[in-house]
Structure 1
Amino acid sequence: MSLSRGFVLSRHQQDQSDGIQLRYWLRHTTGAELFTIQGQESVFFFLAADSERISGLLSHLAGWRITSLNLVDLNQRPVAGIYCQFLSLQRQICEILTSHQVVMIEEDIRPVDRYLMERFIFGGAEVNPVSSGVRLQPVEFRPTLKVLSIDLETSMKADRIHSIGLYGADISVVLMRGEIESSEHPDNVVCYPDEASLIRGFIHQVEKYNPDLFIGWNVVGFDFRVLAERAEALKIPLRLGRDHQPLKVVRSEAGKWYVRLEGRLVIDGIDALKGATYHFESYALEYVSQQLFQRGKLIHQPNDRGAEIQRLYREDKAALARYNLEDCKLVWDIFEETQLIEYLLERTRLTGLSLDKVGGSAAAFDFQYLPRLHRAGYVAPEYASGVRGMDAPGGFVMESQPGLYQQVLVLDFKSLYPSIIRTFRIDPAGLAEGLKEGADEDDLVPGFNGAIFSKSKAILPTIIEELWCARDLAKQNKNAVFSQAIKIIMNSFYGVLGSDVCRFFDQRLSGSITLRGHQILQQTRDEIERFFGHQVIYGDTDSVFVLLGEAFNEQAAEQRGRELATYLNDWWKAQVEKQFNTPCFLELEYETLFTRFLMPRMRHSEKGSKKRYAGLQRQADGKSKLVFKGLENVRSDWTPLAREVQKNLYEAVFTEQPYRPYLKTLVNDLRAGRLNDQLVYRRRLRQPLDAYLRMKPPHVQAALKAQVYWQQQGRADPYQPGDHVSYVMTVSGPEPIEQLRSPIDYEHYIEKQLMPVVDAILCFKEESFAELIATQRDLFQ
């Protein structure tokens, strides 16, 4: 009988007298429980030829052993394993071997992860008793997690906590330092006399509520970091984990903050959104909530928000409590709206990654791939040791044919890179088998850069096939979250094989994917033009843009799109089976029809641009939608004015509406100062202000002026790396919006913002913005 079934919430490891202890907190139906596995060893691999040398280097140490294994590396060299009784011993051994340049393999895999990985435990686990304690086995288990959204309000320098907001399914409370001097004391505000009692009150609330997940916005880098700093200053053990040990907040060499606690996880909303491929112009809580709900923070002045918080703390703590709690609710609502927790759970079920793992595409690949690789008789290569210096370009981008067109079809290869891997058997183990002496010629598929792959012994295509089938099922069941998680994982495989900081990097692998993609797009273009006679005006990575022209109405154009997809899928199936004698998994889809389409020229050139276009798309409900790719309308470094003008002008041109009166009125309103609120630039600082030595772009100049202004006010500089600077171009140069002193330079906006946007489309109508402006000036002279 099993002791319990649950979801692996958090995993930890530590040395004990009898070896390494693995600690797993499982969330089951009624709560969370700790299960430990005692007396474990760590293991990593090395070339068997180095055994004697390693034994000599480690002869002064105890607690390790070398074991011969029936495994080889991807170059067919025998390997052995070195087993260590303690984590501290393994670290010591790795330092010695590194200093003597001994090749180590998979030495970075933590025992607590390897235990799950080698047993194919992807989230759900069943606990079974054995003579030495317990053993975990894989099982399907879908947990219901208890989530707590938290947010801190602090002094300007974050050296004192004013209040802590807590919000969840059945909790809504603000913990406040100091009394509320008001006749109406809010029921959901608990006051504490000082900061120490406030922090203790927070610890008590967490213990009482007993959450599985903390969520927040920059919750690790700010909220938990400040909590840890203030608790340490006040000598209060911050016991927030289920093991009642003090929480630790650490910073990596790359500057990333992490929380260490047991039995609970901390999920940052910003990282989670990015990992789920949500894209926002800004990831500030105010901006994201406005985009999703048209609702934001209760204090609306971003540059004065800190000062207003201080005023509210002094004068109106009840209002501060409302503001604090609303921030918690905004984060909660964002997680609900975007289904982030569901996405992270599905990702764990597919990859074995911990819910709080940021990024992790390489780790996800390892978790799925390494156990199968070991069972095939191989170990991974030495980290990032694959072949380099070869031709392994990125996605193929065709030369575009600039113009203003009617009826343009877009045909898209469904998951092109995963389907290439699956069709042409691209795989690290398959490469090793394909290059092995005596390989069966009938079992081989040629790649690029000298690669040859085994059809029958490839691992990665099988993983993709399983994920592909799971995604098809998710689509049938209308499980959009699961489908998206699978798509992200499948698309990450190419990046793992092509990144020189990943374990399986090898340009024979990545080149066999991208160069095959180039070939597929070029041959698809050639066949469309040969068999159908339609011009392909553009192609990008996995899509081709086919011009039909005004001879086709919308209904006929859509029918031709379906005909093209059907024909090309049959054609590709025949080509692959004839040339490679293997099944073809390439699938071309008719994606959309642009009834009007603009492929712009490069600036100051007659050549067509790349990754930049606009079109009028007909949707399923019959309505039209304006689509921009790479143009000013979707770029955050262009002003709202430029984006609005582009949208209005292109829509007018595409629908054959008059646009000259609109442009003339626009220029008149701009020069009259009626559009000032649309002239704000907003650009991100990439580094500290004092790091901009030689070149000071306009947003840096504006930030430096703002810095002087804030210092004169006796307040901290609000601009740090990653922050956006809002500024306007004036006759005296760029000035921050909080300190506008000079008249706005309207001619700058006409020349640098409006003219590029307008001329990009009017040039194909043999008109120019300069002529319109000149005509207008003549009228008013």
Structure 2
Amino acid sequence: MSKSMMKLATAQTTQLAQRGFLLTRQVEDSQSGLQITLWLKTLSGSVKLIITDEQAVFFIEDSQVMKAKSLLTTHNIPVVKFQSLAMKTFNGNSVSGIYFTHLRHFYRARELLTNAQVKCYEDDIRPDDRFLMERFITADLDFIGNPVDTDITESSSKGSIENYQLYRQAKCKASTSKSTLTLKMLSLDLECSMQGELFSIGLYSERSSTQSSKSISKSISKEDTYKRVLMIGEPEETSNDYIVWVQDEKALLVQLMREIVAFDPDVFIGWNVINFDFKLLQKRFDHYGLAFTLGRDNSIARWRNNRNSTEQYFIEIAGRLVLDGIDLLKTATYSFSSFSLDNVANELLGIGKKVVDVDNRIQEIVDNFNHNKPALAAYNLEDCRLVWLIFEKTALLAFAQLRAQLTGLAIDRIGGSVAAFTNLYLPKLHRSGYVAPNMGDGMSALVSPGGYVMESVPGLYSNVLVLDFKSLYPSIIRTFKIDPMGLIEGLVEQAQHQASQLDEGNTSAAVINAIKGFDGAYFSRTQHFLPDIIESLWLERDKAKQQKNAALSQAIKIIMNSFYGILGSTGCRFFDPRLAGSITKRSHEILKITSQWIEQAGYQVIYGDTDSIFVSIGEDKSLMQGKDLGYQLQTLINQNWQQALKEEYQLDCHLEIEFETLFTKFLMPTIRGKDIGTKKRYAGLVVNLKELTQAPTLMFKGLESVRTDWTALAKDFQKNLYLKVFTNQPIDDYINEIVAQVQRGDCDDRLIYRKRIRRALNDYIKNVPPHVKAARLADAHNEKMGKPLRYQQRGWIEYFITLNGPQVKEQLCSPLDYQFYIDRQIAAVADGILPFIGKSFDEITNKQLGLF
């Protein structure tokens, strides 16, 4: 136990610990040394903890200590101590810790030693992150400290109110249970000119799911909703009461700070809210010489940018979080054809903005600001409301909180799979006497393959079962004890085991054999952490499913499934191709053996992909027979694996295959123009296993109807045509009618292509695709008309194919090339399925009789 932890345990006898949920963290140098600041949300309000007795540390091998001491002394870099530790590297070399009281000394020493070829371990771990992870603190913590009286003070010039409890010399430990505190969200959106001059600022919060603030209780509407639109202009009698009129832009900014202080949000939410709204606010505050004091302690917002992207910024606000809807949806694995607010609101909520075209929208905003400000206010407020509704519909804040509680990641952290793994794994590794390797230590010439994808058997089938291994990669890690430290220990154990076998006189049973992996890997049966971490997450997910907590279940699934990717990523300090290879190559083996068992049982395996196996059971089976057979195969395979692993490896089996899908009709198509079956592309009619009398539903995977780069007509045509084929309905008249409609121009509104421009337009040099040609033509026209260039730096574009080439829909001036659409969209879709019923598109649409 650390000294600080012992102090906390002792102090609890005289001082009652309080519980809080971690909002933000920060580390910086003070006059007295390193200072860590933690902001918490507690039942009694906001709390600021000041921690001053920590030190920054990294590790070096003992053989380098003398050299390091000499270098640091020569360059006058203060060091608290060199401490020899009962720890070692993965290479088995003993290490010492170098401790510093100031961050600046830590960074100078790191740079000096690295340049002098002294290898520093864990020198990229921030002291605030180390403070938390070494105490196994994720998001919930108990704390004690010396409370400081901070009277609520107000400054009218800055519009600031300090309303929090401050504790100095704080001590913390992990809480034993997850917090159920509700964080207070505030949705924010700006409206501005093309030049970035602000017109209005919208604020929105539904109080039914937040904690009310006494300071703004007067503004709560009957619907218990907080609405504000701060608008530049003279008051209008007919305007809504949620509009707050201000004289000019500077007054707008001052009023915004007053509203924020009064509402006192824990979380700001918005759409591209950091890189647009807050970035623009910072510019406008700077323009007027105003301090952007968003922090709960009246501190200014801090900015940093992504090391890998100069276009992506992050904002740090003391005691407050900023969550961007786009980033958080992607983190939660949501997928949309477009992440525009209008499209996501339409797909999730069935509502959206009335104006879609960007140019018209901007012009409408400008016109409304000049002539109809109440309309602009309504538009501004609706954007805020849509973001709020999306967050509520998808439980994004709950997802972010649960992810933080499970991993120790900051709530506003984008991605962070590697950091999450580090938070969970590193303190356990230290307690076993190891320091973590550095990035690059595990590099070798070995390459681990991806998931196993079987060659498919193309055809139109009746009765196809799909059997899926439940979380295959995590279950392989659990079963075969795959673990970074376990690999190191396993190699040692295997060497000892082999040595004992050579020594004929050694009959000790204490030397056990390790579990054989791939590429020369062996894993310890007892010395490991990752299998246990996954097991605990697995149990938590099972509880979440029982409680129907979708946000928690999804958060755990994402974390568990990320572990394989982490071990196979060169961006992770624990990367070793033997780890990733022992997962993926084992999965290949598992799918091949499972397929053999199924075929030995008399059924045909027609496809396999990563963790799924597709089985044709024959046309003569009823729905009930197909369902029963699926569960029989599930039981057979699970029993076989339990027995096989016990006999061959003496391991308990955590592999579990599930029967969840029955297709009454199933199409495995061929690659276009070839007789070879496709991969990751199929369609079929899926039965509801719980209610066999319900009509089957149509499902597509990887085909045109689920791709964003096919027209709406092609998608609808494919759905209708496949359904007719699957249900044995006539199709000739339907196909001919669709062709006729296209030729008559009845389907023009469904012939739009929508594609993403993934690079700057000037970067496309050879083989310029149609959507880029359309973009260049459109921006040439925009430049000629004095309009903004829309397509120069990536983004989405919608266009038609005309007789004069591709043209964006808003500048369409040529007739559509209907024959192109018939050949490339209708015929291409039809010929994906017609050959399996002995027909072809040309045969059906050719009105001339054949010669024979």
TM class by smaller structure: over 0.9
Task: Look up the SS of the partner of 1:288 in the other structure.
Answer: helix
Displacement of 1:309: 1.1
Q: 1:14-60 CA distances to partner (integer Å, 9 max, x unpaired)?
A: 10122110000010013211011013211112222222222222222
Residues 49 and 168, structure 2, Cα contact 8 Å, conserved in 1: no
| Distance in 1 between residues matched to 2:354 and 2:46, nearest whole Å | 36
Q: Does 1:745 align with 2:817?
A: yes
Q: Does 1:220 align with 2:220?
A: no
Q: 1:232-267 CA distances to partner (integer Å, 9 max, x unpaired)?
A: 111111111112122233332413211121100000
Aligned to 2:193: 155
| Distance in 1 between residues matched to 2:238 and 2:838, nearest whole Å | 69
Counterpart pick for 2:845 among 761, 773, 776: 773
Q: Which AA in structure 2 matches 1:512? A: S
Displacement of 1:645: 0.8
Aligned to 1:96: 112
Alignment of 1:141-290 (within 5 A): 141-158=179-196, 160-169=197-206, 170-179=225-234, 182-253=236-307, 254=309, 255-290=311-346
Q: 1:264-295 CA distances to partner (integer Å, 9 max, x unpaired)?
A: 00000001101111111111100000011110
Alignment of 1:322-361 (within 5 A): 322-361=378-417
Task: Look up the SS of the partner of 1:687 in the other structure.
Answer: strand
| Distance in 2 between residues matched to 1:642 and 1:423, nearest whole Å | 45
Q: Which AA in structure 1 matches 2:169? A: G
Q: Which moved more, 1:330-339 or 1:25-34?
A: 25-34
Task: Look up the SS of the partner of 2:409 in the other structure.
Answer: coil
Q: Which AA in structure 2 matches 1:263? A: G
Residues 391 and 449, structure 1, Cα contact 8 Å, conserved in 2: no
Q: 1:112-167 CA distances to partner (integer Å, 9 max, x unpaired)?
A: 11111010112111112489822111112222101000000110132x01110000
Counterpart pick for 1:133 among 161, 169, 184: 169
Q: Which AA in structure 2 matches 1:313? A: F
| Distance in 1 between residues matched to 2:400 and 2:626, nearest whole Å | 40
Q: Does 1:464 align with 2:534?
A: yes
| Distance in 1 between residues matched to 2:840 and 2:444, nearest whole Å | 49
Q: 1:155-206 CA distances to partner (integer Å, 9 max, x unpaired)?
A: 0132x011100001241010112225x4402211011111111011111100
Residues 303 and 738, structure 1, Cα contact 8 Å, conserved in 2: no
Q: Which AA in structure 2 matches 1:163? A: S
| Distance in 2 between residues matched to 1:84 and 1:316, nearest whole Å | 61
Aligned to 2:504: none
Alignment of 1:420-435 (within 5 A): 420-435=476-491
Counterpart pick for 1:708 among 763, 772, 780: 780
Residues 74 and 428, structure 1, Cα contact 8 Å, conserved in 2: no
Compared with structure 1, are the counterparts of its residues 85 and 658 closer, same or farther at alpha carbon in structure 2 (3 Å cutoff)?
Answer: same
| Number of residue pairs the alignment of both structures matches | 775
Residues 50 and 168, structure 2, Cα contact 8 Å, conserved in 1: no
| Distance in 2 between residues matched to 1:740 and 1:298, nearest whole Å | 22
Displacement of 1:3: 4.7
Alignment of 1:579-618 (within 5 A): 579-618=648-687
Task: Look up the SS of the partner of 2:759 in the other structure.
Answer: coil
Aligned to 1:438: 496
Q: Which AA in structure 1 matches 2:53? A: G
Compared with structure 1, are the counterparts of its residues 200 and 695 closer, same or farther at alpha carbon in structure 2 (3 Å cutoff)?
Answer: farther
Q: 1:372-412 CA distances to partner (integer Å, 9 max, x unpaired)?
A: 11111111111132143214100000000000000000000
Residues 37 and 133, structure 1, Cα contact 8 Å, conserved in 2: yes
Q: Does 1:68 align with 2:74?
A: no
Q: Which AA in structure 1 matches 2:107? A: R
Residues 2 and 126, structure 1, Cα contact 8 Å, conserved in 2: no
Q: Does 1:676 align with 2:734?
A: no
| Distance in 1 between residues matched to 2:561 and 2:389, nearest whole Å | 28
Displacement of 1:660: 1.3
Aligned to 1:522: 592
| Distance in 2 between residues matched to 1:547 and 1:46, nearest whole Å | 59
Displacement of 1:473: 1.4
Residues 162 and 177, structure 1, Cα contact 8 Å, conserved in 2: yes
Residues 224 and 249, structure 1, Cα contact 8 Å, conserved in 2: no
Q: Which AA in structure 1 matches 2:523? A: F
Displacement of 1:302: 3.9
Aligned to 1:119: 135
Q: Which AA in structure 1 matches 2:67? A: R
Residues 491 and 514, structure 2, Cα contact 8 Å, conserved in 1: no
Q: Which AA in structure 1 matches 2:664? A: T
Compared with structure 1, are the counterparts of its residues 441 and 568 closer, same or farther at alpha carbon in structure 2 (3 Å cutoff)?
Answer: farther
Q: Which AA in structure 2 matches 1:246? A: I
Q: Does 1:559 align with 2:628?
A: yes
Alignment of 1:386-401 (within 5 A): 386-401=442-457
Residues 600 and 760, structure 1, Cα contact 8 Å, conserved in 2: yes
Q: Give the structure-1-normalised TM-score.
A: 0.97
Compared with structure 1, are the counterparts of its residues 595 and 132 closer, same or farther at alpha carbon in structure 2 (3 Å cutoff)?
Answer: same
Residues 60 and 96, structure 2, Cα contact 8 Å, conserved in 1: yes
| Distance in 2 between residues matched to 1:188 and 1:31, nearest whole Å | 27
| Distance in 2 between residues matched to 1:52 and 1:447, nearest whole Å | 40
Displacement of 1:604: 1.8
| Distance in 2 between residues matched to 1:656 and 1:105, nearest whole Å | 67
Task: Look up the SS of the partner of 1:394 in the other structure.
Answer: coil
Displacement of 1:443: 4.7
Q: 1:605-631 CA distances to partner (integer Å, 9 max, x unpaired)?
A: 111010111110012342321111111
Q: Which AA in structure 2 matches 1:699? A: H
| Distance in 2 between residues matched to 1:438 and 1:179, nearest whole Å | 85
| Distance in 1 between residues matched to 2:103 and 2:467, nearest whole Å | 53
Residues 42 and 84, structure 1, Cα contact 8 Å, conserved in 2: yes
Displacement of 1:772: 2.0
Q: Which moved more, 1:352-361 or 1:468-477?
A: 468-477
Task: Look up the SS of the partner of 2:765 in the other structure.
Answer: coil
Q: Gaps spanning 5+ residues in structure 1: where? A: none
Counterpart pick for 2:707 among 604, 622, 635: 635
Residues 34 and 55, structure 2, Cα contact 8 Å, conserved in 1: yes
Task: Look up the SS of the partner of 1:760 in the other structure.
Answer: coil
Task: Look up the SS of the partner of 1:157 in the other structure.
Answer: coil
Task: Look up the SS of the partner of 2:39 in the other structure.
Answer: strand
Q: Give the structure-2-normalised TM-score.
A: 0.89
| Distance in 2 between residues matched to 1:633 and 1:257, nearest whole Å | 36
Counterpart pick for 1:644 among 695, 706, 716: 716
Compared with structure 1, are the counterparts of its residues 148 and 405 closer, same or farther at alpha carbon in structure 2 (3 Å cutoff)?
Answer: same
Q: Which moved more, 1:371-380 or 1:127-136?
A: 127-136
Residues 5 and 28, structure 1, Cα contact 8 Å, conserved in 2: yes
Task: Look up the SS of the partner of 2:846 in the other structure.
Answer: helix
Displacement of 1:750: 1.3
Residues 776 and 791, structure 2, Cα contact 8 Å, conserved in 1: no
| Distance in 1 between residues matched to 2:275 and 2:765, nearest whole Å | 28
Task: Look up the SS of the partner of 2:831 in the other structure.
Answer: helix
| Distance in 2 between residues matched to 1:335 and 1:778, nearest whole Å | 60
Q: Which AA in structure 1 matches 2:398? A: E
Aligned to 2:547: 477
| Distance in 2 between residues matched to 1:224 and 1:187, nearest whole Å | 26
Residues 53 and 169, structure 2, Cα contact 8 Å, conserved in 1: no
Q: 1:675-726 CA distances to partner (integer Å, 9 max, x unpaired)?
A: 0011111111112222223342111111111112222332212225441010
Task: Look up the SS of the partner of 2:554 in the other structure.
Answer: helix
Task: Look up the SS of the partner of 2:488 in the other structure.
Answer: helix
Counterpart pick for 1:83 among 99, 111, 134: 99
Task: Look up the SS of the partner of 1:483 in the other structure.
Answer: helix
Q: Which moved more, 1:431-440 or 1:746-755?
A: 431-440
Identity of aligned residues (%): 45
Residues 271 and 324, structure 2, Cα contact 8 Å, conserved in 1: yes
Aligned to 2:52: 38
Alpha carbon RMSD of aligned pairs, Å?
1.6
